[in-house]
A and B are shown apart, each in its own frame.
Chain A
Amino acid sequence: MNRIFAAMSLLKEVKSLIRKDMVLEWRSKYALNGILLYVVSTVFVCYQAFKSVDPAMWNALFWIIMLFASVNAINKSFVQENQGRQLYYYSIASAKAVILAKIIYNMLIMLLLSAIAFFVYSVIFRNPVGDPMLYLAAVILGSIGFACVFTMVSGISAKAGNNSTLMAILSFPIIIPLLLVLIKLSKNAMDGLERSVSYDEMMVLAAINIITVAISLLLFPYLWRD
């Protein structure tokens, strides 16, 4: 009974923290608009530089654009608000609620970001995709995965003075397994292979996401204390 009550209150905290993040973002619209413009201009730079690409490169290029966009989007997640306000949140909500809310909020941001990026990218770079639904599933799984991994790393780099070099060197090696599986899965989707071929990759992606969220939940309570 007590445990159920604790879980309920955690859920409530998470919900109001996500709401708080959304309202803050909606009031300024700075971060969201900035990152959307970032994606569109990166796509355009790539288009100008490459003109036309073969399918394998099209796929890899998309994920590289997504990688840099998501690092930039999530890098800010712990430095938007000043130290005093962070301390206030930690005193009224549990650390688990704070990290869970950040992860879910970043997932929502990443879903929006990747939907727009995919739309712009496939309009500008014409390329046939054999199984669009599976490709979309790969994009959704990928954006959720980026959000899970980068939220924790951005928390770490925020504590270390938040320079962007540190964020890159800490997160790129960690994201590579996810990126490799994603590129393979989306390549399967492009070639229009049987869906059953891709179940393995989807399982690995889901497993990586679950593991990173679990580790983040376990470790974050140690991270925020100062």
Chain B
Amino acid sequence: MKHYWWKILGILLLLYSIILGLLGPVPALPIVHETIRNTYYHVPMWFAMFTLYFISVVYSIKYLSSNNPQHDLVAVESVNVGIVFCLLGLASGMLWANFTWGDPWPNDPKLNGSAIATLMYLAYLVLRNALEEEQKRARISAIYNVFAFPIMIVLMYILPKTTDSLHPGSGGNSGFGDFDLDGSMKAVLYPAAVGWILIGTWLMTLRFRIRKLEFQNHTSPE
């Protein structure tokens, strides 16, 4: 119970958000109807993705100043798990868009921005494959990661706000916060976001530990 309390907390928060997300009260709105509950699943994916990318960029900077190979492993595994959350976010968003906008992929800056940001992080993984030598790979991909992170923020969070967009919360549209008068949605959304962030971090640490063992086996003299 000492150091793994946050894993249990993550599971409990997810259970809470799934149960209350499906059964709890939601504001009755036209067009979206009951799909408003997707807020509890679609939005936390992006919270988790952003957190993981942020962890990744922090560890990339740490790698550049310390040259510790473990920092590089944390950075790459954060991106790996972050991309999974990003794909889940895109998939849940497309389902939702198909219901409310009648088209899984309308030409919208928020959607295109997130797709391009995904391409950027996939390019990061390709860059890693292109480099053979371990130290060089770690250093150069860390540099690209630091370079890509601010661009990702511009693509996903700044540009959609300045242009016309269908997506709630950008292009002058209001987010769901404006309909949620009694705070009943926030009471589910924020715990869900924290839960998914914890689960994402847990997945990342698991993958990191596997990679660390592989790395040690690989480099230790037999």
Query: Which of A25-33, A163-171, A191-199 contacts its partner?
Result: A163-171
Q: Which of A156, A176, A219 has the most CB of B within 10 A?
A: A176
Known: A160-B127, A160-B131, A166-B130. A176 touches B155 (CB 8 A): yes
Q: Which residue of B lies closest to A215 (CB)?
A: B147
Q: Which residue of B lies closest to A212 (CB)?
A: B147
Task: Give the CA-CA distance A163 to B129 in the complex, in Å.
Answer: 13
Cross-interface CB contact of A159 among B140, B146, B147, B154, cutoff 8 Å: B140
- Is residue A208 within 8 Å, beta carbon to beta carbon, of the partner chain? yes
Q: Encode A207-224 as 1/0 by CB contact (under 8 A) with B.
A: 010011001100100110
Tell whether, in the assembled complex, residue A219 and residue B143 are in contact, meaning their CB atoms are under 8 Å apart: yes
Tell whether, in the assembled complex, residue B126 and residue A173 are in contact, meaning their CB atoms are under 8 Å apart: no
Q: Which residue of A lies closest to B147 (CB)?
A: A215
Cross-interface CB contact of A173 among B119, B139, B150, B162, cutoff 8 Å: B119
Q: How many A-B residue pairs have CB under 8 A?
A: 71
Known: A170-B123, A223-B140. A161 touches B154 (CB 8 A): no
- Is residue A34 within 8 Å, beta carbon to beta carbon, of the partner chain? no
Tell whether, in the assembled complex, residue A208 and residue B154 are in contact, meaning their CB atoms are under 8 Å apart: yes
Size of interface on B: residues with Cβ below 8 Å to A:
29
- Is residue B12 within 8 Å, beta carbon to beta carbon, of the partner chain? no
Known: A174-B147, A177-B159, A204-B162. A166 touches B154 (CB 8 A): no
Residues in chain B near residue A223, CB distance under 8 A: 139-140, 143
Task: Give the CA-CA distance A172 to B127 in the complex, in Å.
Answer: 14
Task: Give the CA-CA distance A55 to B8 in the complex, in Å.
Answer: 59
Q: List 22 A-B contacts (CB under 8 A).
A: A156-B127, A159-B136, A160-B127, A160-B130, A163-B130, A170-B144, A172-B119, A173-B123, A174-B120, A174-B147, A177-B113, A177-B151, A180-B159, A204-B158, A204-B162, A212-B147, A215-B147, A219-B143, A222-B139, A222-B142, A223-B140, A225-B139
B interface vs A, CB < 8 Å? 64, 109, 113, 116-117, 119-120, 123, 126-127, 130-131, 136, 139-140, 142-144, 146-148, 150-151, 154-155, 158-159, 162-163
